[in-house]
Amino acid sequence: MTKMKKNINLEKKIRLRFPPSPTGPLHIGNARTILFNYLFAKQHNGETVLRIEDTDKERSKIEWVQDIIDQLHWLGIDWNEGPDIGGPHSPYKQSQRTDIYQTYLEKLLAEKKAYFCICSSEELEGKRQDQQSRGLAPKYDGTCRNKNHQHGVIRFIVENKKVTFIDLIRKEVEFDMGLSGDIVIAKNLQTPLYHFTVVVDDFLMQISHVIRGEDHLSNTPKQILLQEALGFYQPIYAHLPLMLNSDKSKMSKRAGDVAVSDYHQNGYLPEALINFMVLLGWNPGTEKDIFSLPELIKEFSLENVQKSGAVFNLQKLDYLNGYYIREKSTSALVKLCLPYLPETAKDMPFKQLEKIIEAYQARLKKLSEITEFTDFFFSEKLSYDKKMLGWKEMGDREVKESLEHSAKILSDAKKFDKKSLEELLVKEATAFAEASASQGKNPDKGKLLWPLRVALSGKEASASPFEIAEILGKEKTLTRIKQGIDKLS
């Protein structure tokens, strides 16, 4: 039986790796794994390595490498070695390390610990079906093990024994490798596969801890056997719970809105996404759910990472993002919102933009919502159904009287700031309601304020008419009211 062994080389320096594959944009599940690695390394004064695992030549793209780097920078996650640190020709891209892998493949072949296999896919499928029909676990039967072929895929000889290792999250884990069969570790000497490259790189880069997703748990015993065959040490392992959709299904790498860039573009803040991701599997042990990155570096621990799957709750992310939006200064939020506003916003005085953003800061759950909330500030004429102008059971004539009354009040207003307008309009709304009551109608302040707010915004829900009027200014406010009256004519 193979058990985890201590290695004195790892006692001095803790080193972890971020190993994304550039076959698509950075997946939020990979970003969470990188975050957990980052926090663990920072907490223990360790080092981190960004290693681009791009041996899948058909699916790996340079633009996805750049996306990985860009999104990690946006999240505030840095690293000590690898692409963007060592330059464009950094050695931490597996596609640039083929000669290294070939040396170790040749070593295994020379020591008879691996062999060339020429079994066709049709032959392998026939064997698999035969084994299944006899109630056996499908595995390679070793047909080519002693054939001395000089070409074909390269299979590693998996010993028929149990492999046991200690996982920092799952404690002692055991696998019966007699159920596995010999595994393919390279398509040929120039094309190594994941199981092999990761073992070689972890050794040469002196990785002390491997923190990765639960979906890699079954890979670990195979990699431990490869480590033994090559005379390498064994890193310390920790396997994180899977990220699940709300229906408890596994989050797919190819599903919509699972890339970090999706959340970035949709107006989520990096601090919110960091806070959200760490809670997908980690429990602080308290009721606290707001954590800055420095706080997480101090408080995070693998001991509080759960074993069961972590359900992705978008409402929780929206709550956290709303919190961080409210924490921003108005001037900082204006700059963050500018990409979501019309081009004409850039020509608007910054103070006016601040007032617009401030009016909606408490309502925002993500930056992109500012577009729909505030579009009417950047339009000359609004398009809306005149029925929206009526409050409850008001008829067109009553709505018109209300808007005409508002126009008169506001045209005579000496001050046009929010506070003065609120005092003036609330007072007039009360008087307007009392006048309605004297005519046998329902006394309601909304009869003055609702038509005015809709005329100014063209929306059923918006900021108060006092805030909107101040931002629009007297001239544009009166123009909007007139446009509303015209709709009723």
Helix (H) or strand (E) holding 71: helix 62-75
Q: What phi and psi values does residue 440 have, to the nearest 5 degrees?
A: 80, 15
What pLDDT sits at residue 132?
87
- Residues 360, 363: Cα–Cα separation, whole Å: 5
Tell me what the mean pLDDT of segment 303-309 comes to: 93
- Closest residue by Cα to residue 267 from 185, 359, 360, 392: 360
pLDDT tens, residue by residue, 205-215 = 999 999 999 99
pTM of the full structure: 0.90
Catalytic residues: 253
Residue 341 has pLDDT above 90, yes or no: yes
Tell me what the mean pLDDT of segment 67-71 comes to: 95
- Residues 30, 399: Cα–Cα separation, whole Å: 56
Give residue 440's pLDDT band: very low, low, confident or very high (50, 70, 90): low
HEC-encoded secondary structure of 304-355: HECCCCEECCHHHHHHHHHHHHHHCCHHHHHHHHHHHCCHHHHHCCHHHHHH
- Residues 402, 400: Cα–Cα separation, whole Å: 5
Contact 382, 459 (CB under 8 A): no
- Residues 86, 82: Cα–Cα separation, whole Å: 6
Tell me what the mean pLDDT of segment 171-180 comes to: 94
Residue 21 has pLDDT above 70, yes or no: yes
Q: Work out the end-to-end distance of the chain between its first and last CA atoms, rounded to an integer number of angstroms.
A: 90
Q: Where are the domains of the chain?
A: 380-489
Query: Would you say domain 380-489 falls under CATH 1.10.10.350?
Result: yes
Tokens of residue 193, six digits: 């596969």
pLDDT tens, residue by residue, 95-135 = 999 999 999 999 999 999 999 999 999 998 898 898 888 88
Give residue 442's pLDDT band: very low, low, confident or very high (50, 70, 90): low
pLDDT tens, residue by residue, 456-487 = 999 999 999 999 999 999 999 999 999 999 99
Residue 48 has pLDDT above 50, yes or no: yes
What pLDDT sits at residue 2?
46
